[in-house]
């Protein structure tokens, strides 16, 4: 399998990569959230192993970001913490499995084999809401067959909300997954971006696409049509 290993401890990454390659896996290593995001966006992987504690952010945020962008590869989180709450946070972020350090390499290899048999989660890549069609595979949105001028980050927000099927998503979760930080600057950027998204999607047929739930978060307001 083609694996992405995200681990900031270079020596540990070398040891794990060597063991994985001995099992005939093709391993690409990243040592930061920034590098891992770039690799996920530009290359195809069949499984990712992600350390939670990274120098420029959290592996949890990287996991949420990957799911928000539509990456469906299995994800195995690695962490030095063993608390149940940390495991719950990881699974809620979109991970498929969780392994606490220190671990035996044999157990890591067994979990990789198990996740490899499971394969990518199946989830439709296209959804229609009347004249509005969202396509995560092409990373685009069309209205009446015409491509909408949404930026990549605007599309990331749209997909994250739409694929939650009307459930409320907290602003902090959106910022963490897409901006990689929950700061005042990121929040201000999000508010501007949200206004632009609503304006670009607004038509007589699609009057309200994103609903604000005061002091809670945001939810996708449209119902899927029979063509999706």
Q: What is the pLDDT of residue 228?
A: 44
Whether the predicted pLDDT of 121 surpasses 60:
no
Q: What is the pLDDT of residue 172?
A: 85
Mean pLDDT, residues 14-43: 90
CB contact at 8 A, 64 and 88: no
CB contact at 8 A, 62 and 36: yes
Domain 2-118 has CATH 3.40.50.2300: yes
Structural domain spans, the chain = 2-118, 126-220
pLDDT digits (tens, 9 = 90+) for 39-62: 887 777 889 999 998 999 889 989
Q: Is the peptide bond before 102 cis (omega within 30 degrees of 0)?
A: yes
Whether the predicted pLDDT of 203 surpasses 80:
no
CB contact at 8 A, 111 and 97: yes
164 vs 54 pLDDT, higher one: 54
Please give the C-alpha separations between residue 3 and each of 46, 113, 114, 167, 219, in angstroms, as whole numbers. 6, 12, 14, 32, 34
Mean pLDDT, residues 3-11: 94
Beta bridge partners of 2: 26
CB contact at 8 A, 198 and 209: yes
Distance separating alpha carbons of residues 24 and 204, to the nearest angstrom: 55
Q: What is the pLDDT of residue 119?
A: 60
**CATH code of domain 126-220:** 1.10.10.10
Mean pLDDT, residues 138-153: 89
Q: Which two tokens stand for residue 84?
A: 């149940």
């Amino acid at each position: 399998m083609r694996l992405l290993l995200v681990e900031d401890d270079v020596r540990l990454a070398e040891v794990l990569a060597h063991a994985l390659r001995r099992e005939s896996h093709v391993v690409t290593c990243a040592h930061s959230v920034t590098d891992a995001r770039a690799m996920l966006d530009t290359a195809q992987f069949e499984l990712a192993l992600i350390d939670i504690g990274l120098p420029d952010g959290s592996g949890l945020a990287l996991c949420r970001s990957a799911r928000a962008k539509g990456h469906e590869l299995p994800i195995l989180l690695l962490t030095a913490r063993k608390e149940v709450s940390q495991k719950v946070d990881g699974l809620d972020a979109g991970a498929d499995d969780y392994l606490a350090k220190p671990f035996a390499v044999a157990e890591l290899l067994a979990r990789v084999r198990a996740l490899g048999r499971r394969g990518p989660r199946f989830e439709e890549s296209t959804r229609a809401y009347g004249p509005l069609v969202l396509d995560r595979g092409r990373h685009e949105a069309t209205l009446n067959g015409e491509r909408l001028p949404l930026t990549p980050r605007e599309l990331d927000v749209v997909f994250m909300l739409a694929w939650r099927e009307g459930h409320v998503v907290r602003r902090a979760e959106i910022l963490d997954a897409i901006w990689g930080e929950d700061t005042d600057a990121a929040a201000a950027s999000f508010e501007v971006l949200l206004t632009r998204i609503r304006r670009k999607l607004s038509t007589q047929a699609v009057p309200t696409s994103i609903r604000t739930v005061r002091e809670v978060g945001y939810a996708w307001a449209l119902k899927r049509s029979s063509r999706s």
